[in-house]
Amino acid sequence: MTNNPEEDEKSLDRRIYLLGTSRFIRALGRTSSFLFLPIVLFQIYKLNLFEIGLYSGFATLIMALVQYYSGILTDRIGRRKFLIYIPIPVAVLYLLLGMGVIYKVHVIYIITIWYSTIFFNALQFPAIQATIADITKMSERLTAYTIVRLLVNTGAAVGPIIGAFLGSINLGYIFIITSILSVVELLVLLFVKETHQKKSKLTVRGINKIIIKERFLLLFTIVGILFNFLLRQRGTTFTIYIYGFKGISIFELGIIYSLNGLLVVLFQYPIFRLIASRLTYLHWRAVGSLIYAASYFMIAYLEGFIGYMFIMGMLTIGEDFVSPTTETIITSVAKEETRGSFIGFYNMATSMGNFLGSVFGLWILGLFINVPDIFWFSMAILMALVGFGYFALTIPYRQYLNSDALK
């Protein structure tokens, strides 16, 4: 499976760039919101590791359930309604969240508003990903997802620095700027017309019957659940670990996560060309998983701002191999009328890994906080096993693509 990146870019629908721009604006604000909310709970509200993990875990469950049903719904009623209606309540909710943090209202208020933002963000996500698949040919799809992701990570590179600056004044300002950017996102999405013409008439039960018969999708999802459990440790767990126990400041934390976005922008396109030139997407997903494993292993040996910058660099390279392939693989085994549903199903199922990773990751880290090497070694070994699992899946994936299943 090969692509010619130059030809694919020239032939891409201009709506890909509109979607990418909207995702850039979205990432500019929401990356900081996701990054610093655990800090708000830890620093302002004095929650312990298990409580933060539990709240974060339930957030992923909400996201999972909403994405599953919104994926089915976007196949039935189209994509555009989800694109243009969602930013309005999101903007209001982030404004309320920011004001709540500034005035230090009760933590239940903060959690409730946070969960509400999760609900609406999850409603929109399958529509965005399915829209990209709608307006690209199979040969263009990896190129399109890569371009969008480059724009997302440009926002993710700048966002944490802005967030760290605003957070040094007051953490609530991070959420207020996210509210403003949500309005700007809406203005861009207004230019994206409906892309889904072949509306699905399938019910939830009908979709479930189709999914149960999709052997490759089920196997890919099972491995994805464990992968997401382990991937979660590079998020909230790593953030709380280096901030709460290793002395990294908020400003340094913002720079570390900005490095993630910056390196994605620098290396994603060369890595994309490598992915597109040989082997299958699953081979490279396996390579990325092994790089993640090596990164977790290094957390046990490196410390300090420079050490964590190096680790973030390794994590980013792993991300560059893994992230563009997810939706490309899923939509490559789905027909047009089931793309949103398949994306929603995968996100729902693998979010169980996110939930367990959030809750038990921080809890287990707390148990081994005096000997954290054991925790990070364990995560590294399990992630390596996931990498080998993806290697094993390359055989059924090739068989599926060569079959008549999508005709």
pLDDT digits (tens, 9 = 90+) for 328-351: 888 888 777 777 778 878 888 888
With bands split at pLDDT 50, 70 and 90, how would you rate the model's confidence at 112? Answer: very high
pLDDT, greater one: 102 or 60:
102
Classify residue 194: in a domain, yes or no. no
69 within some domain: yes
Which long-range CB contacts under 8 A does 208-214 form with residues at least 24 apart?
A: 210/338, 210/341, 211/341, 211/342, 211/345, 214/333, 214/342
What total number of domains does the chain contain? 1
- Cβ(326)–Cβ(342) below 8 Å: no
The answer, yes or no, to whether residue 1 has pLDDT greater than 50, is no
Q: What local confidence, expressed as pLDDT, does residue 343 receive? A: 80
Residue 46 lies in a domain: yes
3-state secondary structure of 161: helix
By the 8 A CB rule, do 109 and 100 touch? yes
Task: Say if residue 2's pLDDT is above 50.
Answer: no
What is the domain range of residue 174? Answer: 5-189+199-401
Span 267-287, pLDDT tens digits:
877 888 888 777 888 999 999
- pLDDT, residue 4, reads 57
Cα–Cα distance measured from residue 169 to residue 339, given in angstroms and rounded to the nearest whole number: 44
Angstrom distances, CA of residue 400 to CA of 137, 209, 403: 18, 18, 5
φ/ψ of 370, rounded to 5, equals: -85, -20
Tokens 């054991």: give the residue: 374
- The pLDDT tens digits of the residues spanning 371-400 come to 999 999 999 999 999 999 999 999 888 887
Residue 355 lies in a domain: yes
pLDDT at 5: 53
Residue 45 burial by Cβ neighbours in a 10 Å radius (0-12, 13-18, 19+): middle
Measured distance CA(360)–CA(399) in Å, rounded: 36
Q: Evaluate whether residue 27 is within a structural domain.
A: yes
> Mean pLDDT, the chain, as a whole number?
86
74 Rama sector, left if φ>0, alpha if ψ -120 to 50, beta otherwise: alpha
From residue 90, alpha-carbon distances to 176, 291, 301 in Å are 11, 35, 41
Question: Is residue 11 within 8 Å of residue 140, measured between CB atoms?
Answer: yes
- pLDDT of 211 reads 78
CATH number at residue 48: 1.20.1250.20
Among the listed residues 306, 273, 271, 261, the one whose alpha carbon sits nearest the alpha carbon of residue 291: 271
Mean pLDDT confidence for 248-263? 86
Q: Is the pLDDT of residue 170 over 80?
A: yes
Count of beta carbons in the 10 Å neighbourhood of residue 80: 18
The tokens describing 5, both together, are 């990146």
Residue 407 located in a structural domain: no
Does 252 fall in a domain?
yes
Task: Determine, yes or no, domain membership for 406.
Answer: no
**Can you give the pLDDT at residue 203?**
64
Give the predicted TM-score (pTM) of the model. 0.75
Distance in angstroms (rounded) separating the CA atoms of residues 208 and 17? 33
Q: What CA–CA distance (Å, rounded) separates 242 from 191?
A: 42
